[in-house]
Amino acid sequence: MEIAIGIINIIAGIYVTLLGFKVLNPFKGKNEPEKEALWYKKFEKFFKFGGILIIFCGFLILLLELRPYL
């Protein structure tokens, strides 16, 4: 069960990080550039650092869970 939580953390962290670095665009196809600019301005740093932290925590969970098998 803990392994699944670690994998989910890694996937979620990758997604959040890609949003922070504007690789993924959730506003694609919508005609709201002002809303997009405000959204990125407000959450850009949080997504960049938070996503990397979530990825790190996911790897840490996997490492601690799989340590007896290594």
pLDDT, averaged per 10 consecutive residues of the chain (70 residues), comes to: 94 95 80 81 93 97 91
From CA 3, how far away is CA 61, in angstroms rounded? 7
From CA 41, how far away is CA 68, in angstroms rounded? 44
Q: What is the pTM of this model?
A: 0.85
Question: What residue has token string 């996997």?
Answer: 62
CA dihedral 23, 59, 2, 46 (to 10 degrees): -50
Q: Coil, strand, or helix at residue 42?
A: helix
